[in-house]
Amino acid sequence: MVTIELYGVARLRAGREVIELDARSLGEALLGLGATCPVLEPSIVAGGRLAPGWLVALNGAQITADPETPLGDGDVVVLVSADAGG
Amino acid sequence: MGRGGFFGRYLRVDLGQKRAEHVPLDEATLRAVVGGVGLGALLLGRETPPGFDPLGPEAALVLAFGPLVGTPLTTSAKLAFVAKSPLTGRISDGLSSSAFAIAGKRAGVDAIVLVGAAEEPSIVLVDEAGATLVPCPELWGRDFAISEASERLGQAYPDHRFAVIGVAGERLVRYAGIANDGRHAGRGGLGAVLGAKRVKAIGVRGIRPVPLADAEATLRIAKDLARRSLGPATEKYRSLGTVANLSTFNRLAALPTRNFQASTFEDARRIEGEALHETRERGRGSCKSCTIGCEHFFEVRPGQRPVKMEYENLFALGPLCGIGDPEVVLRASSACDELGIDTISAGGTIAFAMECAEKGLFPAGPLAEEARDLVFGAGERLLSMLEDIARRRTPLGDLLAEGSRRAAEIVGGEAPSFAPHVKGLEIPGYEPRALQTMALGFAVGTRGADHNRSGAYEADFSGKVNRFEPDAAEAAEHAVAAEDRAAVMDSLILCKFLRRAMDDFYGESAEMLRAVTGLPFEAKDLVEAAGRITLVRRLFNEREGWTPAEDTLPARFFEEKLPGGAAKGAGIDRARFARSIDAYHARRGLDERGFVPAEVAREMMAWMGGKYR
Ligand code: SF4
């Protein structure tokens, strides 16, 4: 089981802060996220990938957009906008 | 001179002599530095002698417009206030967007330069014919809120648009800002520069249309840009505004808390943008000529006027001071705007004082007495401290009005090691240990710790570098690239929130400039201009005493590790950071110590008009 945390626009749109699902890679987690929250498709997640301007911080630390990134039980995927400025 | 965008002259106002004259600007100069912060830096160097006092009569305050101001391009209603900062002793350029910018440009000038000082408190009225000085005893020393002073000026001179200082500017608070139309050129104390000139406000009246070399092309580009400005790249700004950063930064352990002692805040949930949006949002607004509209207004208390809030205000007056009460943070932000002080420097300096107070560092006597209840989380005390600072009305208020660097030098002991500044400018809301490419951007910034002139955090948030331990050369590359893009945006001038809506930044910028000015700008010209603008600023700083030792961070960031959250244990390695700085200097074309090489300086000064070194 992995946890996806939503922030900013993604949280606003989805109306949820946290989603839990089974996934072995970031791509699988994003597919699951899109299926659970279709409002995030396609401008935030698009077919198992992140849309431009979006990233995840794996367990809050390592920042990536690579769908091949492996995930294990208990991992936390923090979905963030890359426009963290101003 | 081209056929549009520029007027090819600036208005020089000598306040002491009560004289104004138009000074020509040639096309080559304007092409070389574009406008905005580039032109402002150039004119500041030209108009001042080496080593001048930023609060003395030899100081100059430059109001520089850009070639795109007054055109139909979205977010183009901006101007740059440029001066030597009384907080840092280095160059400072504060930008703001407003109808003031358009009216100023339409007075038929590319810039207005104020030199000298008025004999008595005055306002300066500028129009096509020149400038007039009008004494304003009814406005000076009266403790008016900025909104009230602006309203009175508007009633007295309905044809003019005004840039105004508050109580803090009159009292020479070293981080006083300049307000126009509710926007603030906040950083670096430019309001004190105006206050020292005994100028309460600058009023501009302009009716001359800004000429467009190719009006059809300009309109086509403007329409396309406006359409793109409403796409997904700016959704964050439209739906939540910059306050959205707070929860994300807290999760990523990049949220400066309790004067940078931590990077996560236990009360973040109460003040995060999402929560404010849900419970308190009462409307949106925008700067003049902007299609994005990132301003969000939040309710303080029912029946009271809602308050505009940005991430930088929120972090500085909230977590940085240990405060998690949204009402206090909103009131504090509004107080800073009405008193006319920079929120980041105010929050940073008070947070620093809170740490000093908690550690018992204030010398026994009035300072220690006054600081007794200045503890992290003391919301009402924060509010009264802001008033004390803006009016310099108590010993501690007077001390903190000097900024954290000067205050730390006076407090002594270990205080300078945790005073949260670079070159005297308080650090914005990006924890350097958790965002180490940004840490480099802060250290080398010509204005000091600066999130507007360096957007190197974009590299940290991109996954392209390890944000806790970036490779020195890569960090330098990103820091230069981000600084260059900012230099061009701030010279055009367009709002940075447009940046992701542009696919080919330099190419599209050149296209806009060609359409507006009729001059043959190409992408490569703007890449060159970006580097040149940074060098002009560095030359100015060198002339004013900059040394390589200033390109650094406070000791805390090297000596203390972050205590918790996703960045737990992160610290900055001194040796690696020094290598990043060397790599930055090399990539910028500076010599091994970080100075502009003599031959480059000579060549630049030949066309800049001398006096830079
Ligand atoms: S995006 Fe925001 S800051 Fe930029 S011009 Fe528009 S309203 Fe002003």
In the sheet that B307-308 helps form, which strands lie side by side, from edge to edge?
B281-285, B295-298, B307-308
Q: How far is the CA of B322 from the centre of ligand 1 (A)?
A: 29
- Domain for residue B15, yes or no? yes
Residue B30 shares a structural domain with residue B85: yes
B194, B252: one domain? no
Q: Which of B282, B275, B273, B265 is nearest to B244 (CA)?
A: B273
Kindly state the helix (H) or strand (E) to which residue B365 belongs, with its residue range. none
User: Which residues, given as ranges, of chain A have pLDDT below 70?
Assistant: 84-86
Residues of A in contact with B497 (CB under 8 A): 86
Which residue in the set A59, A62, A81 is minimally distant from B236, CB to CB?
A81
Number of domains in chain B: 3
For residue B286, how far is its CA from the centre of ligand 1 (angstroms)? Answer: 6
Q: One-letter amino acid identity for A10?
A: A
For residue B329, being part of any structural domain is answered with yes
Q: Do A85 and B251 touch (CB under 8 A)?
A: no
pLDDT score, position A58: 96
For residue B485, pLDDT over 70 is answered with yes
DSSP code of B341?
B
Judge: A9–B244 Cβ closer than 8 Å, yes or no: yes
Q: Which two tokens stand for residue B45?
A: 């160097």
Predicted pLDDT of residue A85: 60
Is B334 touching ligand 1 by the criterion CB < 6 Å? Answer: no
Tell whether B210 is covered by a domain: no
Residue B357 CB coordination number (10 Å)? 22
- The tens digit of pLDDT for each residue in B134-159 reads 999 999 999 999 999 999 999 999 99
Helix (H, G, I), strand (E, B) or coil at B569: coil
With residue B338 as reference, give the H or E element that holds it: helix B326-339
B311 CB near ligand 1 (under 6 Å): no
Reported ipTM? 0.97
**Structural contact between residues B63 and B111, judged by C-beta atoms closer than 8 angstroms:** yes
Ligand 1 pocket test target in B68, B95, B97, B236 with most atoms within 8 Å of CB: B97
The pLDDT score that the predictor gives to residue A84 is 62
Is B104 a domain residue? Answer: yes
Region B519-544 average pLDDT: 96
Please give the C-alpha separations between residue B359 and each of B108, B353, B374, B484, in angstroms, as whole numbers: 55, 10, 11, 41
Q: Is residue B596 part of a domain?
A: yes
Q: Is residue B173 within 8 Å of B189, Cβ to Cβ?
A: yes
For residue A42, give the chain B residue with the closest CA.
Answer: B232
pLDDT of residue B610 exceeding 70, the answer is: no
When pLDDT is cut at 50, 70 and 90, the band that residue B456 belongs to is: confident
- Determine if residue B267 is left, alpha or beta; phi over 0 gives left, psi from -120 to 50 gives alpha, anything else beta: alpha
Same domain, residue pair B57 and B107? yes
Q: What is the pTM of this model?
A: 0.97
Report the chain A residue with the minimal C-alpha distance to residue B465.
A63
Could you tell me which residues of chain B have a Cβ less than 8 Å from any Cβ in chain A?
232-233, 235-237, 239-240, 242, 244-245, 247-249, 251-253, 273-274, 277, 294, 310-312, 451, 455, 457-458, 460-463, 467-468, 496-497, 500, 565-567
Are β-strands B161-164 and B199-204 bridged in parallel, bridged antiparallel, or unpaired?
antiparallel
pLDDT one-digit tens code per residue, B90-128: 999 999 999 999 999 999 999 999 999 999 999 999 999
Which positions in chain A touch B274 (Cβ < 8 Å)?
7-8, 11-12
Residue ranges making up the domain that contains B34: 9-204
Ligand 1 centroid to Cα of residue B78, in Å, is 10
> Do B412 and B529 fall within a single domain?
no
Closest CB to B565: pick one of A9, A60, A85.
A60
- Choose among B232, B247, B455: nearest Cβ to A53: B232
Which tops the pLDDT comparison, B199 or B610?
A: B199
* Chain B residues lying within 8 Å of A86, measured CB to CB: 237, 242, 245, 294, 310-312, 451, 496-497
Does any CB of chain B come closer than 8 Å to the CB of residue A51?
yes
Mutate to test the interface with A, among B75, B228, B242, B247 (most CBs of A within 10 A): B247
> Which residues contact residue B146 at a Cβ distance below 8 angstroms, ignoring those fewer than 6 apart?
B164, B165, B166, B179, B337, B338, B339, B340
pLDDT for B613 equals 64
Q: How far, in Å, from the CA of B156 to the mean position of ligand 1? A: 29
Question: B194, B60, B175, B183: which is closest to B124 by C-alpha?
Answer: B194
User: Do B603 and B526 share a domain, yes or no?
Assistant: yes
Are residue B245 and residue B186 in the same domain, yes or no? no
Distance, CA of B277 to CA of B274 (rounded, Å): 5
Q: Walk across the sheet containing B19-24 and list its strands.
A: B19-24, B9-14, B111-115, B60-64, B78-84, B91-97
Cα B435 to Cα B231, B456, B498, distances in angstroms: 28, 9, 23
Spatial contact of B118 and B199, defined as CB atoms under 8 Å apart: yes
Looking at B391, B422, B453, the residue that finishes a domain is B422
Angle between helices B598-608 and B36-47 (to 10 degrees): 90
Q: Does A9 touch chain B (CB under 8 A)?
A: yes
- Determine the Cα–Cα distance for residues B90 and B405; give it in Å rounded to an integer: 14
CATH code of residue B470: 1.10.599.10
The tens digit of pLDDT for each residue in B251-302 reads: 999 999 999 999 999 999 999 999 999 999 999 999 899 999 999 999 999 9
pLDDT digits (tens, 9 = 90+) for B29-85: 999 999 999 999 999 999 999 999 999 999 999 999 999 999 999 999 999 999 999
Residue B312 Cα, gap to closest chain A Cα (Å): 7
Pick the residue from chain B with its C-alpha nearest to A17. B274
What pLDDT, on a 0 to 100 scale, did the predictor assign at position B612?
A: 63
Q: Mind listing the pLDDT tens digit for each residue in B315-363?
A: 999 999 999 999 999 999 999 999 999 999 999 999 999 999 999 999 9
Handedness of CA B325, B330, B334, B340 (dihedral sign): positive
Domains identified in chain A and CATH numbers: 2-81 (3.10.20.30)
Q: How far apart are CA B384 and CA B52, in angstroms?
A: 34
Residue A18 forms contact with B (CB below 8 Å): no
Is there an atom of ligand 1 within 6 Å of B310 CB?
Answer: no
The whole-number pLDDT of residue B501 equals: 87
Percent share of chain B, pLDDT over 90:
91
Same domain membership, residue B520 and residue B444:
yes
Distance CA B90, CA B197 (A): 19
Which residue type occupies B119? E
User: Closest residue of A to B497, CA-based?
Assistant: A86
Mean pLDDT of B432-448: 96
Shared domain for B200 and B254, answered yes or no, is no
Q: The CATH number of the domain where B240 resides is what?
A: 1.10.569.10
Does B214 reside within a domain?
no
Q: Phi and psi of B38, rounded to 5°?
A: -65, -50
Q: In CATH, what number is assigned to the domain containing residue B182?
A: 3.60.9.10
Written as one string, the DSSP assignment of B155-216 is: HH-TT-EEEE--HHHHTT-TTB-EEETTEEE-TTSHHHHHHHTTEEEEEE---SPPP-TTHH
Residue closest by Cα to atom 2 of ligand 1: B294
- Residues from chain B that touch A85, judged by Cβ atoms under 8 A, are 242, 245, 451, 455, 457-458, 496
Q: Going by C-beta distance under 8 Å and a sequence separation of 6 or more, which residues neighbour residue B57?
A: B16, B115, B116, B117, B197
What's at B176, amino acid-wise? A
φ, ψ dihedrals at B70, nearest 5°: 85, 5
The CB of B294 under 6 Å from ligand 1? The reply is: yes
Asked if the model's pLDDT at residue B492 lies above 70, the reply is yes
* Distance (Å, whole) CA B257 – CA B266: 10
CA of B287 to the centre of ligand 1 (A): 5
Map tokens 């390592």 to a residue.
A62
Reported as a pLDDT band with limits 50, 70 and 90, residue B182 is confident
- Both tokens assigned to B416: 């300078």
For residues B228 and B200, membership in a common domain is answered with no
CA of B226 to the centre of ligand 1 (A): 13
B101 Cα–ligand 1 center, Å: 14
- Indicate the angle between helix axes B343-358 and B379-391, nearest 10 degrees: 120
Give the position, in ligand 1's atom list, of the atom nearest the Cα of B74. 5
Q: Which amino acid is present at A39?
A: V
Cα B284 to middle of ligand 1, angstroms = 11
Do B400 and B479 lie in a common domain? no
DSSP A70: B
Two tokens at B18? 């009560």
- Whether residue B570 contacts residue B439, with contact meaning beta carbons closer than 8 Å, is answered with no
State the Cα–Cα distance between residues B261 and B560, nearest whole angstrom: 8
Residue B222 has pLDDT above 80, yes or no: yes
The verdict on B484 and B391 lying in the same domain is no
Query: Is residue B213 one of the residues assigned to a domain?
Result: no
Residue B285 and residue B364 in one domain: yes
Percentage of residues in chain B having pLDDT higher than 70? 99
Are B508 and B12 a contacting pair, CB within 8 Å? Answer: no
Mean pLDDT estimate for chain B: 95
In angstroms, the separation between the Cα of residue B400 and the nearest Cα of chain A is 25
Q: How many CB pairs under 8 A join A and B?
A: 95
Phi first, then psi, for residue B172 (nearest 5°) are 60, 35
Examine residue B4 and state whether it is found in any structural domain, yes or no: no
Q: With H, G, I as helix, E, B as strand and everything else as coil, classify residue B36.
A: helix
